[in-house]
């Protein structure tokens, strides 16, 4: 019997794991997800590594690297790159069989560089070179400050996972930055086949308005925003500008659904998997959500390319006093602040563990 995760994969959506720990690598968990759950990539973030390091699984590695004089960011990136290299190698067959479209892992640049385009690009190139894996994305926030860095990094030939996007307008800004980078490569006579994904965060929408809207609207905002964003994605792929780039050898910047774990205990635990099923997209989910969908997920029709009833649903939220454009800006700003907070917590964890195992 075909599992729900396999059915989703067969529909044309890539399932990625939003987690990585050395323990998962050592115990074969990620390998099992690849073989049994049709998982074809993974994402990581500072919070994920922070929790893994807190659990003690990196103590020996931290002790060895500290003894070699590494500390702070340098020590962390060594740990992260070691893990992500191993994961990238696990997904290498997928990367090869899909012609470089799928089978990626992701690593974020430091948020300390958020307002420095030149330093972000330099860091992205350095991290990608140090990892030495073609199927490794560098994550760069799609904030106003991050967009120029995305264009420059793509122009430099480094694959980018644009993160911290929340609505169609922010997605389109990221797509513009990506296409501008591809156009720069074509002008320079360089290969335009530089891969990218645009990560749109979903569950935070519903959490943000949970106490502000009537009961019948709860847990419907994220999927409505997703519908509008998916429509914008399909329209962009049908645009003359994109068709010209594609004809020249460019690859589509795939839409990726992020933050897909359900925050409301009263809502289905697979809400943002079933509701965001669509071909030529990616859904990255924590292992708990992946396990839940594999066990009891239900898959209906794919998302309608025209957004379905998204505009009618969004109008209900506007009537309830929710300004989605303003909220999207707030969510992105809060997300950027949370990223810095998580990064600082991770650096503190590294310092604590380094001292503890010294």
The pLDDT score that the predictor gives to residue 256 is 98
The pLDDT score that the predictor gives to residue 47 is 87
The pLDDT score that the predictor gives to residue 216 is 96
Q: What is the residue range of 74's domain?
A: 4-357
Query: In which band, very low, low, confident or very high, does the pLDDT at 53 lie, cut at 50, 70 and 90?
Result: confident
Work out the percent of the chain whose per-residue pLDDT is above 90.
88
Per-residue pLDDT, averaged over 159-170, amounts to: 98
**Tokens for 328?**
């999207």
Q: How far apart are CA 205 and CA 325, in angstroms?
A: 12
When comparing pLDDT for 259 and 355, which is higher?
A: 259
The pLDDT score that the predictor gives to residue 56 is 84
- Residues 265-289 have pLDDT tens digits of 999 999 999 999 999 999 999 999 9
129 has pLDDT over 80: yes
Q: What is the mean pLDDT of the chain?
A: 95
Long-range contact set of residues 348-355: C-beta below 8 Å, sequence gap at least 24: 349/50, 349/53, 349/54, 350/53, 350/62, 350/71, 350/72, 350/75, 350/76, 351/71, 351/72, 353/53, 353/58, 353/59, 353/62, 354/62, 354/66, 354/71, 354/75
Counting the structural domains of the chain, the total is 1
Work out the percent of the chain whose per-residue pLDDT is above 70.
100
Could you tell me the strand order of the sheet in which 136-141 lies? 39-43, 14-18, 281-285, 254-258, 196-201, 160-165, 136-141, 105-108
Q: How far apart are CA 298 and CA 295, in angstroms?
A: 10
Distances (CA, A) of 72 to 69, 160, 350: 10, 24, 6
Lowest mean pLDDT: which of 47-51, 119-123, 311-315, 328-332? 47-51
Q: How far apart are CA 153 and CA 151, in angstroms?
A: 6
- Residues 208-247 have pLDDT tens digits of 999 999 999 999 999 999 999 999 999 999 999 999 999 9
Query: In which band, very low, low, confident or very high, does the pLDDT at 73 lie, cut at 50, 70 and 90?
Result: very high
- Domain CATH code at residue 330: 3.20.20.70
The model's pTM is 0.96
Lowest mean pLDDT: which of 46-60, 166-180, 202-216, 337-351? 46-60
Phi, psi of 212 (to 5 degrees): -115, -10
Distances (CA, A) of 115 to 16, 88, 220: 29, 29, 34
Q: How far apart are CA 140 and CA 123, in angstroms?
A: 11
- Residues 312-323 have pLDDT tens digits of 999 999 999 999
The pLDDT score that the predictor gives to residue 52 is 87
- Residues 75-102 have pLDDT tens digits of 999 999 999 999 999 999 999 999 999 9
What positions carry a catalytic annotation?
139
198 has pLDDT over 80: yes
Inter-residue contact 5 to 294 (CB < 8 Å): yes
Q: How far apart are CA 255 and CA 325, in angstroms?
A: 19
The pLDDT score that the predictor gives to residue 354 is 87
Distances (CA, A) of 355 to 23, 36, 79, 183: 22, 40, 16, 48
Lowest mean pLDDT: which of 55-64, 120-129, 132-141, 300-309? 55-64
The pLDDT score that the predictor gives to residue 55 is 84
Query: In which band, very low, low, confident or very high, does the pLDDT at 353 lie, cut at 50, 70 and 90?
Result: confident
Query: In which band, very low, low, confident or very high, does the pLDDT at 153 lie, cut at 50, 70 and 90?
Result: very high
194 has pLDDT over 80: yes
The pLDDT score that the predictor gives to residue 144 is 92
């Amino acid at each position: 019997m075909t599992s729900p995760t396999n059915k989703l994969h067969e529909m044309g959506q890539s399932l990625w794991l939003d987690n990585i720990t050395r323990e998962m690598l050592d115990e074969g968990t990620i390998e099992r997800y690849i073989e049994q759950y049709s998982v074809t990539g993974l994402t990581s973030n500072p919070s994920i590594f922070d929790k893994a390091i807190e659990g003690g699984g990196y103590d020996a590695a931290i002790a060895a690297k500290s003894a070699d004089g590494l500390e702070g960011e340098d020590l962390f990136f060594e740990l992260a790159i070691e893990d992500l290299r191993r994961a990238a190698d696990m997904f290498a067959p997928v990367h090869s069989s899909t012609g470089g479209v799928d089978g990626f892992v992701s690593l974020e640049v430091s948020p300390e560089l958020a307002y420095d385009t030149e330093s972000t690009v330099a860091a992205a190139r350095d991290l990608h070179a140090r990892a030495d894996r073609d199927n490794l994305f560098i994550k760069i926030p799609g904030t106003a400050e991050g967009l120029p860095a995305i264009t420059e990094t793509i122009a430099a030939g480094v694959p980018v996972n644009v993160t911290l996007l929340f609505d169609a307008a922010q997605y389109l800004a990221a797509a513009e930055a990506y296409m501008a980078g591809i156009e720069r490569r074509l002008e320079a006579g360089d290969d335009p086949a530089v891969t990218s994904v645009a990560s749109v965060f979903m569950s935070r929408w519903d959490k943000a308005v949970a106490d502000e809207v009537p009961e019948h609207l709860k847990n419907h905002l994220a999927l409505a925003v997703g519908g509008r964003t998916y429509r914008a994605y399909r329209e962009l792929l049908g645009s003359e500008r994109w068709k010209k780039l594609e004809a020249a050898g460019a690859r589509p910047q795939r839409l990726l659904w992020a933050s897909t774990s359900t925050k409301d205990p009263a809502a289905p635990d697979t809400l943002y998997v079933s509701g965001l099923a669509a071909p030529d997209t990616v859904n990255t989910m924590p292992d708990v959500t992946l396990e839940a969908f594999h066990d009891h997920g239900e898959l209906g029709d794919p998302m309608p390319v025209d957004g379905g009833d998204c505009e009618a649903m969004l109008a209900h939220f506007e009537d309830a006093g929710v300004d989605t454009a303003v909220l999207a800006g707030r969510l992105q700003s809060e997300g950027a602040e949370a990223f810095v907070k998580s990064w600082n917590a991770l650096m503190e964890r590294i310092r604590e563990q380094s001292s503890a195992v010294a």
